[in-house]
Structure 1
Amino acid sequence: MRERRKILITGAGGFTGQHACNYFNEKGYDVIAVTRKSPLSTKNVEMEACDLTDQKAVINLINLTKPHFLLHLAGQNHVGTSWHNPTSSFKANVLSSLHLIEAVRYAAPNCKIVIVGSALECNLGDLVSLTNPYSLEKTLQVLIAKAWVHLYGLNIVIVKPSNLIGPGPANGVCSIFARKIVHMEKNKLDKVLEINNLYAQRDYIDVRDAVRAYELALLKGHSGEVYEIASGISRSLEEVIHVMKSLTVIDFEVKSDGQHQVEKPFNISIDKIAALGWKPTISFKTSINDILMYYRKRE
């Protein structure tokens, strides 16, 4: 009988991590969910607590679990936090990744790793364009992954998603707006939504579509390659609000601070991940509706 595929998912308690645990569990993988503290409620998932900034703890984790696949979702993903505490943020994003990669090299060298990069990565040859510590951290994380492919022959793939949206405890702009709208639906308060720049452009992809892409990267992705994952459609916040208004019975006012700077659409190519057999299946409107329904059940 063929051995069941064992996948270790770091950051399992987060927004993407919870979706990933559910998805891979339903697909028949043996899922090992790694969190720092909080246990998950997902059934049939093995739980492991580990501080990924602790090298010995990470080595013990990989020695104990011997995964076939590693999906590394853990990290500090708030730009503001990287400004206020760059050392802690660096440890969470860069050092933890290095600890995991090194532990796999020694204890599970045949394990295939997917590292989740960011659209905010910078060009190290042009530090004038560097805008925040988080951008530097994600760039170094990916650089280390690529270097360990080249230097040690490890099987590491990098995925770079655009803005992830969908039901669940997320802190992105769509979830923030949805929470406010649901609160307005339930309470007789001033129905006003304040936005800085209505013309800010983002590419939004449903987290459930992204997780499917992560599996393809694990199964078919080429070591050292970077796979961008996106919808291919850049939307302004004005468009986002228009869709949200179509999905609620209340009429709310939108106030902007007057900064109407039009941003250029992001240049993201999904050709590589599409060549592996992936395409987005969940429409933007469905994603927004699912987010609203998630918060309506909790209001």
Structure 2
Amino acid sequence: MKEGAKMSFWQQRVVLVTGASGFVGSRLVNLLNKKKSKVIALSNKEIKSIRGIIDVRGSVENFQLLNEIIKKYKVNTIFHLAAQSIVEIGQDNPIKTFEVNIRGTWNILECARENNIQKVVIASTVHVYGDNPKVPFKEEYFPQPSRPYETSKACADLLAQSFADTYDLSVEIPRFVNIYGPGDLNFSRLIPKVIKSILQGKQPEVWDVGSIRDFLYIDDAITAYLMIAEKRVDNKKRLRIFNFGTGNQIKIYDLVQKIIQIMAKGIKVRIEQLPQDRSNEIKKQYVSIAKAKRELGWYPKVTLDNGLSKTITWYQGNSHLFI
């Protein structure tokens, strides 16, 4: 698709983005704004850095608010990214996790149904596949969640499928591997946590050294969000699921060593005992991206080494934000 065609596609859109102040959501809002969409950014935090958007405070648990926003601004496209996405919080507070991730999703879907929304994109995760021994995970694999967070996201996916099939909604579900990049201040995530430790002169603490994961750079993830909304082979309203990753996996220990090598620090990894609350940690978690390549023409452009270098440079230049 030519750049001009892409621009005209988004110029016609009134887009609601939930979770708009998050690491991924804020990047998506910024790009949609540049593409001249009318963007309504829903979040529980104020977004000061992006001009020209409609910034709304609120929660996806509030059905009335969502419905009012959609009707008032005549929304025709929804990117639903709002979620409680931290595995540990899901285990400590499953009820809140279910409220946000499940109730929030059915609120979005019901609003879409009532208001005949043209396109709905429900953000999902590789976590829904659970501890399936058949890797790489493929879209046709049925979810096998175990922990509360994984279960909440699998429920959200099934709700989306139900609404798409029953009410003829156009629903897209992108399932992402771990997303990383500049600007992520969630230090419960591995890459920000390791970089912060090294910048503080501390040994990075790692306990799942043998686990295998895939890490996708933020720019490639945002491109995936846009392409999944832009491209359909036909105009039939139905559910589509796509995996997004790099297609290359790495052991956690090797990833941490890469970060140390790039930062040129003589620091050794501190290997910790697996915490009791993570005893059921999934050992292998990565996906096949063949479908996204074939049907969307999407593929990751940023290598892990290049992405880590860009990410580390950002943290080094912005350490005043977190140290």
Does the pair score TM above 0.5? yes
| Secondary structure at 1:253 match in 2 | coil
Is residue 2:124 matched to residue 1:117? yes
Counting aligned pairs with the same residue, the percent is: 23
Matched, 1:170 2:177: no
Per-residue CA deviation, residues 40-97 of structure 1 (Å, 9 max, x unaligned), is 3112222122221111111111111222211110010112212222221111001011
**What is the distance in 1 between the residues matched to 2:145 and 2:16?**
32
| 1:154 corresponding residue in structure 2 | 169
> 1:27–1:170: structure 2 CA closer, same or farther, 3 Å change rule?
farther
Does 2:248 correspond to 1:233? yes
Question: 1:59–1:103: 8 Å Cα contact kept in structure 2?
Answer: yes
Number of positions where the alignment pairs a residue of Structure 1 with one of Structure 2: 286
User: Residue in 2 aligned with 1:188?
Assistant: none
State the partner residue of 1:254: 269
* Residue 14, structure 1, aligned to residue 14, structure 2: no
**Deviations 1:201-260 (CA, angstroms, capped at 9, x unpaired):** 11100121011011111111473111000000111122212321232232112221377x
**Aligned counterparts of 1:122 and 1:265: Cα–Cα separation in 2:** 11
In structure 2, C-alpha distance between the alignment counterparts of 1:294 and 1:219, rounded to whole Å: 30
Deviates more, 1:235-244 or 1:134-143: 235-244
Aligned counterpart, 2:215: 204
Q: Is the alpha carbon distance of 1:112 and 1:241 closer, same or farther for their aligned partners in structure 2, counting shifts above 3 Å?
A: same
Distance (whole Å) between structure 2 residues aligned to residue 100 and residue 66 of structure 1: 15
Change (3 A) 1:97 1:291: same
Deviations 1:98-151 (A, max 9, x none): 1111112112x142000011211157xxxxx64311111111100010000110
Letter of the 2:194 counterpart: F
Counterpart among 261, 279, 285 of residue 299 in structure 2: 279
Shift of residue 264, structure 1, vs aligned partner: 5.6
Counterpart secondary structure, 2:186: coil
One-letter amino acid of the structure 2 residue matched with residue 245 of structure 1:
I
Measured on the aligned residues, the alpha-carbon RMSD in Å equals 2.3
Which of 10, 31, 34 does residue 42 from structure 2 map onto? 34
Displacement, 1:265? 4.1
* Structure 1: distance between partners of 2:151 and 2:210: 26
The alpha-carbon deviation at position 37 of structure 1 amounts to: 3.4
**Residue equivalent to 2:196:** 179
Partners of 2:179 and 2:217 within 8 A in 1: yes
Whole-angstrom CA distance in 1 between matches of 2:145 and 2:292:
27
2:204 to 178, 193, 205: 193
Q: Is the 8 A contact 2:47 2:55 kept in 1?
A: yes
Q: Taking structure 1 as the reference length, what is the TM-score of the superposition?
A: 0.88
Matched to 2:48, the amino acid is L
Q: Is 1:179–1:292's contact at 8 Å kept on the other side of the alignment?
A: no
Q: Give the residue type in structure 2 aligned to 1:205.
A: L
Which residue does the alignment assign to 1:290? 310
Q: 1:233–1:120: structure 2 CA closer, same or farther, 3 Å change rule?
A: same
> What's the TM-score, normalizing by structure 2?
0.82
C-alpha contact (below 8 Å) 1:50/1:61 kept by paired residues: no
| Residue of 92, 100, 103 corresponding to 1:92 | 100
> How far apart, CA to CA, are the structure 1 residues paired with 2:312 and 2:15?
31
Contact 1:164/1:204 (<8 A) preserved? yes
User: What letter is aligned with 1:111?
Assistant: Q
Point out the more displaced range, 135-144 or 51-60. 51-60
Spell out structure 1 runs of 4+ moving beyond 6 A.
Answer: none
What is the distance in 2 between the residues matched to 1:192 and 1:183? 9
What do the CA deviations read for 1:242-291 (whole angstroms, capped 9, x no partner)?
Answer: 321232232112221377x9x86435111221121111011111221222
Unaligned runs of 5+ in 1: 124-128, 185-190
In structure 2, C-alpha distance between the alignment counterparts of 1:258 and 1:53, rounded to whole Å:
37
Unaligned runs of 5+ in 2: 1-7, 131-143
Amino acid in the other structure paired with 2:157: V
Change (3 A) 1:83 1:267: closer
